[in-house]
């Protein structure tokens, strides 16, 4: 049996050193605590919304606030963490002046689904950062990325840049490896998109979805919690699309640093692809902590179809 702890211990060397191992162990413990809080949230009165609005303009749920504090405490316990960047914080905050890493996280992705008992998650990544400006790195600068999915099971999904490992929380509170070196199926007939936003899609996305439905027999899945949709793709393939609005082709709704980048890093490590229209997500140079981008990721052949369609559309409008 391979636990999260034994996996980290056996893969030390290179990027995964003693300091980073402690960071990851503390993050894993934080996800255990969040999982426990979620199981009894209705009984503990942790449902509904607060009167607090975060930097995104979103009304926070009590569990958003609590999960954020649990993740911050995990950072405080890790002497190597210099900064924390969170969806729930306006700016990065300094944790330890002599630290060498930044932990970047969405403490509770999909929290709008909490009251209806749908899978939610914690997304995180770790980069080297010794000054505030160091937190604005493209996704290639990530050392570690992962997420916890809180559903019928609690799963912890991790990459240190060498494959993707999936662990499941057992009754004793241990994360036990249940999938080693997870690979995303290169081609599958399943897509996840919010069809209600169809009027805002550009021609490339509209054509892809129409073709998938009309001629290819694809199935649509949409949870509305990116962790839930991502976890399905890691287990059985498919493609997730949250494209830009037609009127704003350079923008999107998902956050680059703590949503798109960690998921993109995991997807590429599992043999998939992740793009924001014409560019790989991991190549986007961030300009702000809460920058939003279009997000398309999943099975490589499916993502490639969209990438090539964008390239063809661009060539079609180039002057002769």
Mean pLDDT in consecutive groups of 10 residues from the start of the chain, 320 residues? 96 89 98 94 59 61 93 98 97 97 97 87 97 97 98 96 94 97 95 96 96 89 94 97 86 95 98 95 97 97 97 80
Predicted local confidence at residue 161, as pLDDT: 85
Residue 288 sits at φ, ψ, to 5 deg, of -155, 160
Tokens (6 digits) for 251: 């923008």
Predicted local confidence at residue 246, as pLDDT: 87
Using CA atoms of 116, 223, 119, 44 in order, give the dihedral in degrees to the nearest 10: -20
Tokens (6 digits) for 198: 């169809």
Tokens (6 digits) for 21: 């191992």
110 neighbors 120 (Cβ within 8 angstroms): yes
C-alpha span between 87 and 298 (Å, rounded): 23
Strands 165-169, 175-179: pairing is antiparallel
Strands 165-169, 219-220: pairing is unpaired
- Segments in 218-297 forming alpha helices (H): 226-236, 261-269
> What structural domains and CATH numbers belong to the chain?
4-179 (3.30.540.10), 190-317 (3.40.190.80)
Predicted local confidence at residue 248, as pLDDT: 79
Predicted local confidence at residue 277, as pLDDT: 87
Kind and range of the H or E run holding 298: strand 295-298
C-alpha span between 72 and 54 (Å, rounded): 16
Strands 295-298, 254-255: pairing is unpaired
Closest CA to 145 of 121, 169, 117, 111: 121
C-alpha span between 277 and 255 (Å, rounded): 15
Predicted local confidence at residue 45, as pLDDT: 57
Predicted local confidence at residue 235, as pLDDT: 95
Predicted TM-score (pTM) of the model is 0.94
Kind and range of the H or E run holding 190: strand 190-192
Query: Inter-axis angle of helices 226-236 and 261-269, to 10 degrees?
Result: 0
107 neighbors 259 (Cβ within 8 angstroms): no
């Amino acid at each position: 049996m391979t636990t999260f702890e034994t996996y980290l211990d056996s893969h030390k060397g290179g990027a995964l050193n003693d300091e980073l191992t402690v960071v990851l162990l503390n993050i894993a413990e934080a996800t255990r605590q969040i999982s426990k809080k979620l199981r009894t949230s209705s009984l503990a009165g942790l449902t509904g919304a607060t009167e607090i609005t975060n930097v995104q303009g979103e009304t926070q749920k009590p569990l958003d606030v609590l999960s954020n504090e649990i993740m911050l405490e995990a950072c405080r316990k890790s002497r190597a963490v210099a900064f924390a960047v969170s969806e729930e914080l306006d700016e990065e905050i300094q944790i330890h002046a002599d630290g060498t890493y930044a932990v970047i996280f969405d403490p509770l992705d999909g929290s709008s689904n909490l009251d209806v008992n749908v899978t939610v998650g914690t997304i995180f990544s770790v980069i080297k950062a010794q000054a505030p400006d160091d937190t604005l790195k493209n996704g290639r600068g990530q050392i570690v990325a992962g997420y916890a999915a809180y559903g019928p099971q609690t799963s912890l999904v991790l990459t240190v840049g060498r494959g993707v490992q999936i662990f499941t929380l057992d009754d004793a509170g241990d994360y036990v490896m249940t999938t080693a070196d997870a690979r995303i199926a290169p081609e599958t007939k399943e897509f996840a998109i919010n069809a209600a936003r169809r009027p805002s899609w550009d021609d490339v996305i509209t054509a892809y979805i129409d073709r998938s439905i009309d001629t290819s027999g694809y199935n649509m899945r949409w949870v509305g919690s990116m962790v839930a949709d991502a976890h399905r793709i890691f287990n059985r393939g498919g493609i997730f699309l949250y494209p830009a609005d037609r009127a704003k082709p350079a923008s999107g709704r998902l956050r680059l640093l703590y949503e798109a980048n960690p998921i993109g890093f995991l997807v590429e490590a599992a043999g998939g692809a992740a793009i924001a229209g014409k560019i790989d997500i991991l190549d986007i140079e961030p300009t702000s902590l809460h920058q939003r981008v279009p997000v398309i990721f999943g099975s490589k052949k499916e993502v490639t179809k969209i990438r090539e369609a964008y390239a063809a559309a661009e060539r079609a409008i180039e002057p002769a």
